[in-house]
Amino acid sequence: MQTTNPSTMQTYFYELADWIGTQMQSGETFLAWLSAEESDFIRFNHSKVRQATSVKQIALTLGLIKASRRADIKLMLSGNAEQDRAQVRQVLDILRADLAQLPEDPYLLIAETVNNSEVQSQAKLPSPAEVLDQVTREGAGVDLVGLYAGGKLYRGFANSLGQRNWHSADNFNFEWCLYHAADKAVKSSYAGAVWDAREYSQKMAFAKTQLARLGDKPMALKPGQYRAYLAPSALSEVLSMLCWGGFGIKSQKTKQSCLAKMIEDGAVMNPGVRISENTAEGLASGFQQDGFMKKGRVDLIAGGALKDSLVSPRSAKEYAVETNGANLYEMPESLDMAGGTLARDDALKALDTGLLIGNLWYLNFSDRAACRMTGMTRFATFWVENGEIKAPLNVMRFDDTVYRVLGENLEGLTRECELQPSSDSYGERSVLSTRLPGALVRDFALTL
């Protein structure tokens, strides 16, 4: 895939925004949000390439505001200035017609202070040939199924007031499974901005070691409470549930937050739990879709206690508080959980006897108000004795509360944290990410 120079994409967007400004009529304000990518996708099956493609797309969300009314529309751009301007001209007519039919919005808030910003990624991504060569070579002899997605991601904002923001990020994400049989497989991932052949080889070697153990006779556990080590990928699934309205001020004020017991009853987690929205070190842009700047860091849970909330511009207007640049859904985009003191290489030794859980699956709330969730163990989950893997485990269901898992039953967090960019590419590649440690837990509740 031939990529566009980042400054070329930026210049194109800014020139389009300047032109949109000339189309404004009296009393009108526009907001323009660009989301674009130049991505390579490679799909593997049986350790062979089954599909390889490149995608270049430019999406523009255009908002028109007049007299406390706002209308938005999303369109796909071609990159041809003449064609795109003609399309935008038609869209402006549609938006004006819509505005005439809309009531005033009491919670409309506009970023009236101009805050310009620019972030240009300096990363060097691997070529598709590099990825193909190493994946197929090291996947020889095993059934590897996976998807590689990598390339440039762009985000931009512009408005009538002259504000201009730009963010470009280069990253890749390769998720794969080594399949054994039936429901037995080892799931792995490798993500970043620089492809390190040695690091990938180490991850593959570890996955192959686990795959070999899946051939052993599986062990069936009875329902009960077991000591467990949750790898970062498993802990990520637990924390993703908290993002479903847990940290947003809107859900907290309307008593729909899954962290209601922390808000109303003073419930706490382990003092070592520190969770933040860490935009400064994540992949997402430092500005949101309406042009408000995000804080570099918002402490959501500190010392095990609930601290700050994510506040969107609409919620800021509704509840008369200051926005911290949260998105409309008030969900974290760069979730960060601080590590502890346990060395990752010593995790199984510290576990001694219990469950090694590499992944959790199909999570949902069994009691939202109590932050109780249920889900399945899946892929490579093992029984450990004396710090050594003894046997694979059959799939089981867990049902437990966050206040137990990350509260009274949390014994330790690994010192090392793992950055996990989202692999979501439905519609477009995601810029969401998490940075998490592994967690050592006692009395993890298995129910089926």
Over residues 59-74, the pLDDT tens digits come to 999 999 999 999 999 9
Question: Under DSSP, is residue 229 helix (H, G, I), strand (E, B) or coil?
Answer: strand
Nearest partner of 241 among 254, 258, 253, judged by Cα:
258
The pLDDT, as a whole number, for residue 411 is 98
The residue-averaged pLDDT of 135-158 equals 96
Give the pLDDT score at 6. Answer: 54
Yes or no: domain 6-213 corresponds to CATH 3.30.2290.10: yes
Summarised one tens digit per residue, pLDDT across range 383-429 is: 999 999 999 999 999 999 999 999 999 999 999 999 888 989 889 99
Does position 4 have pLDDT exceeding 70, yes or no? no
What confidence category does residue 5 fall into, taking pLDDT thresholds of 50, 70 and 90?
low
pLDDT at residue 135, rounded to an integer: 97
- The pairing of strands 372-377 and 360-367 is antiparallel
CA distance 339 to 89: 51
State the pLDDT at residue 236: 96
288 class by beta-carbon count within 10 Å (0-12 exposed, 13-18 middle, 19+ buried) = buried
Give the DSSP H/E element, type plus range, for residue 331.
none
Q: Which two tokens stand for residue 119?
A: 């972030």
* Segment 360-370, tens digit of pLDDT: 999 999 999 99
Q: What tokens appear for 245 in the block?
A: 């309205």
Q: Please tell me the distance from the alpha carbon of residue 261 to that of residue 266, in angstroms, as a whole number.
A: 6
Q: What average pLDDT does the segment 242-261 reach?
A: 96
- Mean pLDDT, the chain, rounded, equals 95
% of the chain residues with pLDDT over 70:
98
Give the percent of the chain with pLDDT over 90: 92
Phi/psi at 352 (5° precision): 65, -80
Query: How many whole angstroms from its chain centre is CA 201?
Result: 25
pLDDT, tens only, 156-168: 999 999 999 999 9
* CA 436 to each of CA 130, 273, 414, 421: distance values in angstroms, whole numbers, following the listed order: 28, 11, 9, 11
Output the pLDDT for position 409.
98
Predicted local distance difference test score (pLDDT) of residue 1: 41
User: What is the band of 122 on the pLDDT scale with cuts at 50, 70, 90?
Assistant: confident
Of residues 59, 61, 58, 57, the one with CA closest to residue 30: 61
Angle between helices 6-22 and 81-99 (to 10 degrees): 50
The number of beta carbons lying within 10 Å of the beta carbon of residue 264 is 12
Residue 380 has pLDDT above 90, yes or no: no
The one-letter code for the residue type at 9 is: M
Q: CA quadruple 248, 253, 259, 262: dihedral positive or negative?
A: positive
pLDDT band at 2 (very low <50, low <70, confident <90, very high): very low
Q: In the numeric block, which tokens belong to residue 308? A: 């700050």
pLDDT digits (tens, 9 = 90+) for 222-242: 999 999 999 999 999 999 999
Domain with CATH 3.30.2290.10 in the chain: 6-213
DSSP string, 282-324: SSS-SB-TTSPBPPS-EEEEETTEE---B--HHHHHHHT----
pLDDT surpasses 70 at 299: yes
Instruction: Enter the pTM of the model.
Output: 0.94
Residue 153 clears pLDDT 60, i.e. is over it: yes
| CA–CA distance, 201 with 207 (Å, rounded to integer) | 10
pLDDT at position 3 is 47
Token digits for 113?
């202070």
pLDDT, mean of residues 110-130? 92
SS3 20: helix
Residue 184 has pLDDT above 80, yes or no: yes
